C-alpha cells in the first residue's frame, strides 16, 4: 500500500519543477493527482502519464481557482490534499529600482494564489471532516534576500498565512504546513541565475550555499512534502519546514 492510497491531491504549478516532482511521487504513492497550471500541454502530458487529471488554472484569478477546485471536487467527489506550489521569482532589483508591476505580479501569484487556494478548498475539507494543505514557501521567507523584495515578502507572508489558517481549522482536523526549500535546480532557479550580473558566479555560489554539499534536489523536497501530506505527520500542523541542508541555521 502506498502512503497516499485513495487520496485526491490538487497541486498547483505542477506542470514543471517541484510541482511535477511532487505529482510524480504522490502518484507513485497511490494518490490521484490533479495538476492545476497555466501550461496546458506540459500539464496534460504529465496528467496522462500519471493517470491523473489536468485543469487549466490561473492562481491570480479567484474565479479560476474557485472553478478549478469545484471541477476537482465534481470529478473526484473529494479533495484530501491541496499543495499551493505555483510561484515565480520575478525581477531582480532593489526596492527603489523595482517595478510596481513586478511587486503586484509576484505577490499575486505567490501569496494571493495561496490564499485563494485555501479559501476555496477549505469548505470542502470542512464538510469532509479533514484534509491537508501544504504551501510551498522558501528559505527566503525565513531569511530575507536583497534584490528580491516582492519574493521575500510573499514567501514570508505564505509562512504566516499557513500558520494562521492552521490554527483556524485545526478543530476540523485540517492540517496546514509550509515547506521552505533553499535552492533547487528548476526552471525558476535557472531564471533567477540568468538574471544575476554574473550567472556563472551565482551558480557556483548557490551550489555551495548550504552546509550540506550541493543544491537541494526536487526529490528531497518531494519526499518532505510526502511526509507532510501523509498520515506520517498526523499531529504536525503550523510548521514551516526548511529543506535547506542547514542553510537557515547560520
Minimum distance between the CB of residue 204 and ligand NAD, rounded to whole angstroms? 15
102 part of the interface to ligand NAD, by CB under 6 A? no
Grid coordinates representing 169?
Answer: 481549522
Show the 3-state SS of the chain.
Answer: CCCCCCCEEEEECCCCHHHHHHHHHHHHCCCEEEEEECCHHHHHHHHHHHCCEEEECCCCCHHHHHHHHHHHHHHHCCCCEEEECCCCCCCCCCHHHCCHHHHHHHHHHHHHHHHHHHHHHHHHHHHHCCEEEEEECCHHHCCCCCCCHHHHHHHHHHHHHHHHHHHHHHHHCEEEEEEEECCECCHHHHHHHHCCCCHHHHHHHHHCCCCCCCCECHHHHHHHHHHHHCHHHCCCCCCEEEECCCHHHC
Q: Which stretch binds ligand NAD (CB under 6 A): 23-31, 79-87, 170-178, 222-230?
A: 79-87
184 part of the interface to ligand NAD, by CB under 6 A? yes
Residue choice 2, 28, 29, 39 for contact with ligand NAD (CB under 6 A): 39
Residue choice 16, 27, 230, 233 for contact with ligand NAD (CB under 6 A): 16
Grid coordinates representing 65?
Answer: 481557482
Residue nearer to ligand NAD on the CB measure, 13 or 52: 13
Minimum distance between the CB of residue 155 and ligand NAD, rounded to whole angstroms? 7
86 part of the interface to ligand NAD, by CB under 6 A? yes
Residue choice 8, 33, 55, 57 for contact with ligand NAD (CB under 6 A): 57
- Find cell 490533479 and name the residue: 34
Residue choice 34, 68, 122, 136 for contact with ligand NAD (CB under 6 A): 136
Residue choice 4, 15, 125, 226 for contact with ligand NAD (CB under 6 A): 15
Residue choice 11, 46, 69, 109 for contact with ligand NAD (CB under 6 A): 109
189 part of the interface to ligand NAD, by CB under 6 A? yes
88 part of the interface to ligand NAD, by CB under 6 A? yes
Instruction: Compute the distance between CA of residue 73 and CA of residue 227 in angstroms, rounded to an integer.
Output: 24
Residue of 115, 116, 151, 247 marked active site: 151
Q: Give the per-residue contact string, 154-173, with ligand NAD (x = CB under 6 A; - = no).
A: --------------------
Instruction: Compute the distance between CA of residue 59 and CA of residue 61 in angstroms, rounded to an integer.
Output: 5
Query: Is 116 among the catalytic positions?
Result: no
Footprint of ligand NAD on this chain (CB under 6 A)? 12-13, 15-19, 37-39, 57-60, 85-88, 109, 136, 138, 181, 183-184, 186-189
Amino acid at each position: 500500500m502506498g502512503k497516499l492510497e485513495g487520496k485526491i491531491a490538487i497541486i498547483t504549478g505542477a506542470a514543471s519543477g517541484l510541482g511535477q516532482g511532487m505529482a510524480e511521487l504522490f502518484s507513485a504513492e497511490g494518490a490521484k493527482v490533479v495538476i492545476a497550471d497555466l501550461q496546458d500541454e506540459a500539464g496534460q502530458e504529465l496528467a496522462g502519464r500519471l493517470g491523473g487529471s489536468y485543469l487549466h488554472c490561473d492562481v491570480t484569478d479567484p474565479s479560476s481557482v474557485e472553478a478549478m477546485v469545484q471541477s476537482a471536487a465534481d470529478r473526484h467527489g473529494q479533495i484530501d490534499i491541496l499543495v499551493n506550489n505555483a510561484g515565480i521569482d520575478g525581477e531582480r532589483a532593489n526596492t527603489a529600482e523595482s517595478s510596481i508591476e513586478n511587486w503586484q505580479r509576484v505577490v499575486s501569484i505567490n501569496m494571493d494564489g495561496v490564499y485563494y487556494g485555501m479559501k476555496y478548498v477549505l469548505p470542502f475539507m470542512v464538510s469532509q471532516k479533514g484534509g491537508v494543505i501544504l504551501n510551498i514557501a522558501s528559505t527566503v521567507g525565513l531569511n530575507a534576500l536583497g534584490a528580491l523584495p516582492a519574493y521575500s515578502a510573499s514567501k514570508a507572508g505564505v509562512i504566516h498565512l499557513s500558520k494562521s489558517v492552521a490554527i483556524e481549522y485545526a478543530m476540523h482536523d485540517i492540517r496546514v504546513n509550509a515547506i521552505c526549500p533553499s535552492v533547487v535546480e528548476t526552471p525558476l532557479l535557472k531564471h533567477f541565475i540568468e538574471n544575476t550580473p554574473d550567472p556563472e558566479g551565482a551558480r557556483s555560489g548557490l551550489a555551495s550555499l548550504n552546509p550540506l554539499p550541493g543544491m537541494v534536489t526536487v526529490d528531497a523536497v518531494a519526499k518532505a512534502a510526502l511526509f507532510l501530506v501523509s498520515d506520517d505527520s498526523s499531529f504536525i500542523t503550523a510548521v514551516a519546514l526548511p529543506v535547506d541542508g542547514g542553510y537557515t541555521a547560520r
